Structure 1
Amino acid sequence: MLRDKRMPGSFAPQTFTALSGLHPNLANLKIIGIVIGKTDAKGFPDRKNIGSERYTLSFTMRDSPTHFVNVTSWGSEHYIRGLSDSFRVGDCLIIENPLVQRKELEREEKFSPATPSNWKLLLSESHSTVSVCTSDKVDSSLLALIHVPVKEPHDYYSLGDIVANGQNLDGRVINVLAAVRAVGEPKCFTTADRRRGQRCEVKLYDETEASFAMLCWDNESILLAQSWTPRETVIFASDLRISFDKFRNCMTATVISKSIITTNPDTPEANILLNFVRKNTENAQDSDFDSYLKESINLNTIVDVYTVKQLKVRALKKDGNADPVYGILYAYMSTLSIDDETTKAVRNRCLGCGYIVNDETKACSTCNKDSLAFPSACPSLDLLVDLTDHTGTLHSCSLAGSTAEETLGCTVNEFLVMTAEHKTALKWQFLLERSKIYFKLVLSPRARGGFRISVLSCKLADPVEASRSLSGQGST
């Protein structure tokens, strides 16, 4: 049974059984705890009723720094989906009349979070009750547990360690402490057998690595990731799977059913990383960096369509408003110099802050790291492109970082080994082809025309969509 309403009143600790005191012989069991991990509701064929499905939901709850337990519920689709929708990670729950069972260590912890308890809880649709507590009625010590990692705070790999170990870590499950650099848009897809799925990519960073991809494939981890503020959030992720991505030629991390992610952990190690993040965020306001970190901007929020002429008029208005302008252009690349040997298409960026490293001094002027003493620079595509539509041309627009890789369909390492002929063929796939371009415009007195354009996304446009969007705009 599920109580939809939020529980009123405050709760006396003595009315609940602590997770440390669980035992199968307990009757009329009532437990309070905070949810620290949760998986998606899933359906499985019911062997007893051919043609129907049973649904299950699993989550992990905690009532002290040292005690947490996995909870599983089986039931009808209506019950399980209702239960799943009633709470999220970080909510406090009261569970009444669960069944206490001994945990099958090897089988269950292969797919579920490892817990210190010898027991697990089973929820029955007909006998168990789950209620959600409002945070203002819960003891603050219980709420604070959401910021306590489930593993030892010093038991983690830095991102630099993962990259340095390379494929030796392929397939391993490890802990990671990192800051959130960017959260991508959730993307839906349909598999060959018509199952729907979703994917979200989070870019992490720390003192040792500027950008490292973490992939979320389930709705619960994606919802959690969407709550993170880039460049302000630190996470301790226990039991991430590390893999070598052959397409990108780099290491990546994946959130799996065993993973528990602690947001802004209250540990000395996390506080040191957070201080690093805050220090570097102060220097991260340059628009030249936007396309390098384009995932931090939710493209779904950008809906205004402009022509080139409208943008130029907008930039020239002296209304005292220096806020960035975000929008969409339906235009084509009229200049893309990726096969010109006199044009530098790849630049080295500092792994400490992400800014371009001076090739002569070998030092980062932003965080003052000497790359000879600190081998912390990585190659990044840095292109200047001209964008043209029926009203004019925008010169020297920045197309860089992951946006450039996605646009060209290759990684920077793949680009570096291309022949001149390959680069020329690649260029002509884009020149004079109308694209849908998401951009950011900022005023800059030093730039040509008094403004700078950063490309946030560039994909070939749907002709019908482009025609519909541009109709009525004319050349104004």
Structure 2
Amino acid sequence: MANSFASKTFTALSDLHPNLANLKIIGIVIGKTDVRGFPDRKNIGSERYTFSFTIRDSPTHFVNATSWGSEGYIRSLSDSFRVGECVIIENPLIQRKELEREEKFSPATPGNYKLLLSENHSTVKICSSYQVDTKLLALIYLPVKESRDFYSLGDIVANGCSLDGRIINVLAAVRSVGEPKCFTTSDRRKGQRCEVKLYDETESSFAMICWDNESILVAQSWVPRDTVIFASDVKISFDKFRNCMTATVISKTIITTNPDTPEANILLNFIRENKETNPLDDEIDSYLKESVNLNTIVDVYTVEQLKVKASKNEGKADPFYGILYAYISTLNIDDDSTIVVRHRCSGCGYLVKEASSTCTACNKDSLEFKSVFLSFHLLIDLTDHTGTLHACSLTGGVAEETLGCTVNEFLAMTDEQKTALKWQFLLERSKIYLKFFLSHRARGGLRISVLSCKLADPIEASRNLSGQGNI
């Protein structure tokens, strides 16, 4: 038994059987879903709530547990523990799994049984780590799939659309973790989204999307460029908008952080050795920026105040953010001498020279070429009554949202239409969300990236012309 101080008290997961009663089980939580509500068929008009989690007590045995009950009970129980904590479950009901139906949505487990927790009879308690055998705690670093059973990111990109919709395992390093972004659906349900950028020896940037709160909480603990993950049963999809493959964390997914396997250790050594020489520079960081929740950016500045703050932040690696009410004073989208649209690599987002159509960042093997796609690449000036910010980067999807057209729609415009589009912005004050970060390539050592740019409400703008940000 994994737990040494009470081996006679607890039932091992390998010994589960429907005839057992008054059970007490100990295990480490390796996966967990969000709380969800469903209409109660027995009580029309009311809802029942549920969530599931997966516990493990040995390298070869782990099991899914599901709890149903009132909203208060289920939310309280779910909030009482997190992935990575040890729990003691008392008086669960043991049921036989319905393999075809359940493992379509739940993590695949080695045994034939599952645990059902009831509000009236079952309890779940956190077990302090100092009470638990270290062998049990170490199980959190062991993937639930065979350590060599994974696709490299290069394999996923190379297989392309043939993997669309497939559920596979991925071993990769964490490049960046975006801010959780909250939203409300058309039917008024609240949701959240977090984008994680992954990389390995074969690919320099690959997006993985988390939609549920539990996986987002786990992702927020990852240290970029110093964390390796083994994600079992993620869904692979082709993103038509970005023209590339992406991974999505689903209800079947179990993510192991910094797994203790030979393959993961090799990757960890690779990312640590290549921290300083990573080909991904700040230009790609700007394009492949993490998802930033604009609602968290509240400081309003004038141009003059932003320049003062930027000078005070000189030498600091962390970016800072701000809101500016200003005019776009330079927007050369109708000038034939200005490059408005550039080619980018579908694998890493790096700017590609049009003549070669080859990405120097990730196409090191001449037999393995990544496709390229067209993307806006604009440098604009922003002006208010206190001064001008020059050469602000407006790229990718943000540029499309700002201009109100796709790259292909823009390329189909006449020169007259492009000029008319430009003057829509030169004459109007905009509300602009900006990111400032160090860049040895940028003029003055600081790069300014536009995160959002929309025409401002005149009353709102007039109230904020003096700025109020923390300098």
- Normalising by the smaller structure, the TM-score range is 0.7 to 0.9
- Partner of residue 210 from structure 1, selected from 204, 209, 216: 204
User: In structure 2, do the counterparts of structure 1 residues 46 and 261 end up closer, same or farther at CA, with 3 Å as the change threshold?
Assistant: same
TM superposition shift of 1:70: 0.5
- Partner of residue 433 from structure 2, selected from 433, 437, 451: 437
Whole-angstrom CA distance in 1 between matches of 2:218 and 2:439: 34
How do 1:7-46 residues align onto structure 2 when only pairs under 5 Å count? 11-46=5-40
Q: Which amino acid aligns with 1:101?
A: Q
2:358 and 2:370 in contact (8 A); partners too: no
Specify the alignment match of 1:278 in structure 2: 272
Q: Note the alpha carbon deviations across 1:408-432, whole angstroms, 9 max, x for none.
A: 56777x5896556576666555545
- Partner of residue 224 from structure 2, selected from 230, 246, 256: 230
- Partner of residue 393 from structure 2, selected from 390, 393, 398: 398
- Partner of residue 382 from structure 2, selected from 368, 384, 387: 387
Residue aligned with 1:310, SS: helix
TM superposition shift of 1:81: 0.9
Moved more, 275-284 or 218-227: 275-284
TM superposition shift of 1:346: 5.0
Whole-angstrom CA distance in 1 between matches of 2:426 and 2:198: 33
Whole-angstrom CA distance in 1 between matches of 2:196 and 2:438: 25
Whole-angstrom CA distance in 1 between matches of 2:463 and 2:309: 22
Specify the alignment match of 1:294 in structure 2: 289
Count residues in correspondence: 462
TM superposition shift of 1:363: 8.9
TM superposition shift of 1:52: 1.6
Residue aligned with 1:291, SS: helix
Specify the alignment match of 2:463 in structure 1: 468
Specify the alignment match of 1:129 in structure 2: 123
- Partner of residue 239 from structure 2, selected from 235, 245, 248: 245
1:364 and 1:371 in contact (8 A); partners too: no
Moved more, 148-157 or 190-199: 190-199
User: In structure 2, do the counterparts of structure 1 residues 407 and 371 end up closer, same or farther at CA, with 3 Å as the change threshold?
Assistant: farther
Whole-angstrom CA distance in 1 between matches of 2:143 and 2:360: 35
- Partner of residue 107 from structure 1, selected from 101, 104, 107: 101
For structure 2, list consecutive stretches of 5 or more residues without a partner in the other structure.
none
Q: Note the alpha carbon deviations across 1:7-43, whole angstroms, 9 max, x for none.
A: xx99433421111111122232111111111111111
- Partner of residue 78 from structure 2, selected from 74, 84, 92: 84
Specify the alignment match of 2:262 in structure 1: 268
User: In structure 2, do the counterparts of structure 1 residues 320 and 294 end up closer, same or farther at CA, with 3 Å as the change threshold?
Assistant: closer
How do 1:416-455 residues align onto structure 2 when only pairs under 5 Å count? 427=422, 430-433=425-428, 434-442=430-438, 448=443, 450-455=444-449
Whole-angstrom CA distance in 1 between matches of 2:414 and 2:199: 33
Specify the alignment match of 2:141 in structure 1: 147
Residue aligned with 1:295, SS: coil
Specify the alignment match of 2:56 in structure 1: 62
TM superposition shift of 1:119: 0.6
Q: Note the alpha carbon deviations across 1:93-113, whole angstroms, 9 max, x for none.
A: 100111111111111111111
Residue aligned with 1:281, SS: coil
- Partner of residue 307 from structure 1, selected from 298, 302, 310: 302
Whole-angstrom CA distance in 2 between matches of 1:195 and 1:97: 34
Moved more, 342-351 or 148-157: 342-351
Specify the alignment match of 1:343 in structure 2: 338
Specify the alignment match of 2:187 in structure 1: 193
1:210 and 1:351 in contact (8 A); partners too: no
Q: Note the alpha carbon deviations across 1:265-308, whole angstroms, 9 max, x for none.
A: 22222223323333443246964444234217676665433221
User: In structure 2, do the counterparts of structure 1 residues 427 and 324 end up closer, same or farther at CA, with 3 Å as the change threshold?
Assistant: farther
1:185 and 1:299 in contact (8 A); partners too: no
Q: Which amino acid aligns with 1:103?
A: K
TM superposition shift of 1:245: 2.8
Specify the alignment match of 1:332 in structure 2: 327
Q: Note the alpha carbon deviations across 1:24-66, whole angstroms, 9 max, x for none.
A: 2223211111111111111112122222211111111111111
Q: Which amino acid aligns with 2:331?
A: L
Whole-angstrom CA distance in 2 between matches of 1:372 and 1:417: 31
Residue aligned with 2:464, SS: helix
Specify the alignment match of 1:156 in structure 2: 150
Q: Tell me the TM-score normalized by structure 1.
A: 0.84
TM superposition shift of 1:358: 7.1
1:74 and 1:80 in contact (8 A); partners too: yes
User: In structure 2, do the counterparts of structure 1 residues 105 and 132 end up closer, same or farther at CA, with 3 Å as the change threshold?
Assistant: same
Q: Which amino acid aligns with 2:378?
A: L
Whole-angstrom CA distance in 2 between matches of 1:148 and 1:410: 47
1:304 and 1:326 in contact (8 A); partners too: no
User: In structure 2, do the counterparts of structure 1 residues 205 and 53 end up closer, same or farther at CA, with 3 Å as the change threshold?
Assistant: same
Moved more, 39-48 or 305-314: 305-314
Residue aligned with 1:107, SS: helix
User: In structure 2, do the counterparts of structure 1 residues 46 and 376 end up closer, same or farther at CA, with 3 Å as the change threshold?
Assistant: closer
1:35 and 1:93 in contact (8 A); partners too: yes
Residue aligned with 2:270, SS: helix
Q: Which amino acid aligns with 2:393?
A: S
1:71 and 1:122 in contact (8 A); partners too: yes
2:182 and 2:293 in contact (8 A); partners too: no
Q: Which amino acid aligns with 1:142?
A: L
| Cα RMSD for the two superposed structures | 3.5
For structure 1, list consecutive stretches of 5 or more residues without a partner in the other structure.
1-8
Q: Tell me the TM-score normalized by structure 2.
A: 0.84
User: In structure 2, do the counterparts of structure 1 residues 423 and 214 end up closer, same or farther at CA, with 3 Å as the change threshold?
Assistant: farther
Whole-angstrom CA distance in 1 between matches of 2:390 and 2:452: 16
Q: Which amino acid aligns with 1:334?
A: S
2:168 and 2:234 in contact (8 A); partners too: yes
